[in-house]
Amino acid sequence: MHRFRTYIYPLWMLSANLITRLGGMIILLLIGHHFAPDQLGAYFAAVATIGLAVTIAQAGCGLLLIRLYQANQRRAAFALCALRLTLAIAATAFVVIMTDIPPSPILLMPMVAALAPDWIITARGQLSKIALIAVLGQIAGITVAFVAVVTQSNLALFAIAPAISLASLIAGALLALRSHATHPTAITKITHSQMINLIGFTLLAGALPNLDFVLLDQTLPDAAHTNLMLAQRIFLITAAIIASISAALFAKKQAGLLRDIWLIAPPLAMTAILLMLPETLALLFYGTVNVDLVALLRTGAFWPVLLAMVSRQILISQETENQFFPGWICLALMVVSGVLLPASPHETDAVIIMQLRLSLCLLLIAICHRNPILRNKPA
C-alpha cells in the first residue's frame, strides 16, 4: 500500500487543481445569472488586474521557498517572504493609484498571497493538505457568492475572490502550525546561483502557457482571435495539469522513469484526443462544432506534449549551478522574439509558430544543461 502511495502522490495536486476549477465554475454559475453584465465586467476586470499584482507579490519564488525550507535555510526563506510582502504592498499601492478599482476586500489579495504558507506544507511533502486547503477556500468563495446573490451587494461580489484567498491563508497557517511531520532527507544548502536559476525557471514555466497566446494574437482578425482564445481554454487544461504534477514532483525531488511517466502521459493522452476527436472537444466545451476551431485544435495537437517536455527539462535543469541562467535568457528571448515576429493573418499559423517556439525553448534549455562550459562545475 505504501509503495502504491509513492506512485500516486501527484494526484493530490491534481485534485486541488480540479477542486479550484470546479469551485470557479459553481461561482460563475451563481453570479453569472444574477448580476448585470457591467457589474460582472467590472469584477472580472478587477480580478485580472489584481491577478497581476498577485504575480508580482509571489515574485516567482514559490519553488525556491520550498527548497530553502528543505535545506533548513529558514532565515533566507522568511527574508524572502518579507520581500514578497514589500512587493505586495507596492503593487497594491500602484493598483490603487493607477486604476479605478473601488476600495474593497479584493485589494487584500496580493498581501494574502505574499503571506500564504502553502510552500511550507508542500516542502514537508504533505500534498494531501494542499487539496484540503483548496476545498476550504472554494467553500468560502461559494458561500460569499451565495451571499452576494441573495443581497445583490456589489461589495459582496468583490469579496468573492479575496474570501477564497483569506480562507486558504487561514487554513494553510493552521495546518502549517499544527503539523510538524518530517520532510524528506535534508538537502544541501542552496547557492545564490541556484536561487537565481530557480526564480528564472519558475517565471518561465509560469509564463509559457499564456505568453504566446498574448503576444501572437494581437493583430488577428476578430473571428480568428476568438477561435484562438477558445482553443487556448482547452490547451490550458493540460497546462494546469502539467503545473500541478510538476509542483508535486519538485517537492518530492522525483527523478527517473516515474517523473517522466507522470509528466508525459497526461499531455500525450490530450494530444491523441486533439488529433482524433477535436470535434468532440469543441462540442463538449462550447456546444457547437466550429470548423475553424476544430482545425485549430488539430493543428495545435502537439502543443501539450511540447509543453510537458519543456516542463520536464526545466525540472531537470532548474537547480543546476548554471552561470548562463538559461531560464532568464529563454524568457527574455521568448518575449522579445514574440514582440518582433511579423503579424500572421491566420490563427493556424500562430499555433504552428507557438509549437516551434516551444521546441526552440526546449532545445536551448537542454543545450545549456548539457554544456559544461556554461556551468560552474564540470559535467
Mean pLDDT confidence for 110-118: 92
**Does 296 or 375 have the greater pLDDT score?**
296
Give the other-Cβ count within 10 Å of 92's Cβ. Answer: 21
DSSP letter at 322 equals: B
pLDDT at residue number 15:
82
User: Which of 152-161, 298-307, 308-317, 320-329 shows the lowest mean pLDDT across its residues?
Assistant: 320-329
**Those residues with Cβ within 8 angstroms of residue 371's Cβ, 6 or more apart along the chain or in another chain:** 379
pLDDT at residue number 1:
52
pLDDT at residue number 143:
95
Q: Please choose, from the candidates 300, 280, 298, the residue with its C-alpha nearest in 3D space to the C-alpha of residue 289.
A: 280
pLDDT at residue number 168:
93
Q: What is the tens place of the pLDDT at every residue in 164-223?
A: 999 999 999 998 887 655 545 556 787 888 888 888 888 888 888 877 777 776 666 667
Cα separation of 109 and 210, whole Å?
A: 22
Mean pLDDT confidence for 76-90: 91
pLDDT at 91 over 80: yes
Q: Please choose, from the candidates 183, 173, 190, 207, the residue with its C-alpha nearest in 3D space to the C-alpha of residue 310.
A: 207
For cell 463538449, the residue is: 284
pLDDT more than 70, % of the chain: 90
**Contact (Cβ atoms closer than 8 angstroms) between residue 251 and residue 66:** yes
C-alpha cell at 316: 531537470
With cut-offs at 50, 70 and 90, classify the pLDDT of residue 379: very low
Each residue of 343-358: b (16+ CB within 10 Å) or e? ebeebbebbbbbbebb
Long-range contacts of 292-295 (CB under 8 A, 24+ apart): 292/223, 292/224, 292/227, 292/347, 293/227, 293/230, 293/231, 295/348
With cut-offs at 50, 70 and 90, classify the pLDDT of residue 274: very high
Q: Please choose, from the candidates 259, 349, 342, 354, the residue with its C-alpha nearest in 3D space to the C-alpha of residue 306.
A: 354
**Does 212 or 115 have the greater pLDDT score?**
115
* Amino acid identity for residue 271 in this structure: T
Average pLDDT score, the chain: 83
**Those residues with Cβ within 8 angstroms of residue 344's Cβ, 6 or more apart along the chain or in another chain:** 216, 219, 220, 350, 353
Q: Please choose, from the candidates 189, 184, 183, 205, the residue with its C-alpha nearest in 3D space to the C-alpha of residue 318.
A: 205
**Contact (Cβ atoms closer than 8 angstroms) between residue 193 and residue 140:** no
pLDDT at residue number 378:
44
Give the three-state DSSP class for 114: helix
Strand partners for 375: 322
With cut-offs at 50, 70 and 90, classify the pLDDT of residue 158: very high
Cα separation of 201 and 327, whole Å?
A: 4
**Contact (Cβ atoms closer than 8 angstroms) between residue 41 and residue 155:** no
